[in-house]
């Protein structure tokens, strides 16, 4: 186990691979079914982080209208967290008999996962306070004594780029604002990196499109069980193990498939 992990870490050579990771999961079209799928994926990554001894903190959570998760942002702190998770970015497809369908029909649902590195020095990204719109609102909760009775949640809008970041996990407005600023700085840094990569790709004549419909991994519960990565062909029939956070085989297979390429 120890040597397998060392072997895996030799594949982490990207500039930001050693960084903490900021993960966002968004439910796709499909209403309650898609929101439930996003919630299932959230559990996968929280269990994976727990298995690795990483600290995972939900900084913003938007529940589905009926059940599940519409949108969630998680900070995952630990050595090489971003390096391991960067290839989880993409569209994840679920096929199962829906528990929300009284006719027990099979449904296909999608959720999008985005992963960016948390930058070590936020001063590297200049954020002009005059270009920020700051809104406060009451954080949502489970009810009862946990309901926040003050406007402690913070929403930051970076006017030039249109990037919106929300944080409601902390008890105080100041702490939520600091967390939101960290996420905003990371998103701006990622935008700058992506713009640089696009310019280089154009110079090479290599335009790479990322489309919502091109899922990178499928999870099939019925009529058979299978999890398959469409990028490299790696698959397993033990879907329960995968859904319990044991995704290292998939992480390793894609790291090996992309080793030597620019990340």
Give the pLDDT confidence of 59-69 residue by residue, as tens digits. 999 999 889 99
Give me the residue spans of the domains in the chain: 1-118+216-263, 120-213
The model's pLDDT over 15-51, given as tens digits with 9 standing for 90+, comes to 889 999 999 999 987 789 999 999 999 999 999 999 9
Q: pLDDT grade, residue 103 (50/70/90)? A: confident
1-118+216-263 CATH: 3.30.70.1660
Is the predicted pLDDT of residue 238 greater than 80, yes or no? yes
Confidence of residue 2 (pLDDT cuts 50, 70, 90): low
| CATH label, 120-213, candidates 2.60.130.10, 3.40.1000.10, 3.40.50.20, 3.30.160.20 | 3.30.160.20
**pTM attached to this predicted model:** 0.77
pLDDT on residue 29: 78
Q: Which residue has the higher pLDDT, 140 or 64?
A: 64
The neighbouring-strand residues paired with 112 are: 26, 91
| Residues 118-137, mean pLDDT to the nearest whole number | 82
Same fold, 1-118+216-263 and 120-213: no
Please report the pLDDT score of residue 14 as a whole number: 77
Contact of 144 with 134, CB cutoff 8 Å: no
The rounded percent of the chain whose pLDDT value lies above 90 is 56
């Amino acid at each position: 186990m120890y040597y397998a992990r060392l072997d895996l870490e030799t594949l982490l050579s990207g500039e930001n691979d050693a960084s903490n990771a900021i993960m966002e999961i968004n439910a796709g079209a499909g209403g309650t079914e898609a929101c439930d799928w996003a919630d299932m994926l959230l559990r996968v990554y929280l269990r994976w982080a727990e298995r690795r001894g990483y600290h995972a903190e939900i900084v913003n959570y938007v529940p589905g209208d009926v059940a599940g998760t519409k949108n969630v942002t998680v900070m995952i702190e630990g050595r090489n967290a971003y390096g391991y998770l960067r290839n989880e970015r993409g569209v994840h497809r679920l096929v199962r008999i829906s528990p929300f369908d009284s006719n027990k029909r099979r449904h296909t649902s999608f959720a999008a996962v985005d992963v960016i590195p948390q930058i070590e020095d936020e001063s590297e990204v200049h954020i002009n306070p005059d270009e920020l719109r700051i809104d406060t609102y009451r954080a949502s909760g489970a009810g009862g004594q946990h309901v926040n009775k003050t406007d402690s949640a913070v929403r930051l809008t970076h006017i030039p780029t249109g990037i919106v970041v929300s944080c409601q996990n902390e008890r105080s407005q100041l702490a939520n604002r600091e967390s939101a600023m960290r996420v905003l700085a990371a998103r701006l840094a990622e935008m700058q990196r992506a713009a640089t990569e696009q310019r280089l790709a154009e110079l090479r004549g290599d335009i790479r499109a990322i489309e919502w419909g091109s899922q990178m991994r499928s999870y099939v519960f019925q009529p058979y069980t299978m999890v398959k990565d469409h990028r490299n062909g790696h698959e397993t029939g033990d879907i329960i193990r995968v859904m319990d956070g044991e995704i290292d085989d998939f992480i390793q297979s894609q790291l090996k498939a992309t080793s030597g390429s620019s990340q």
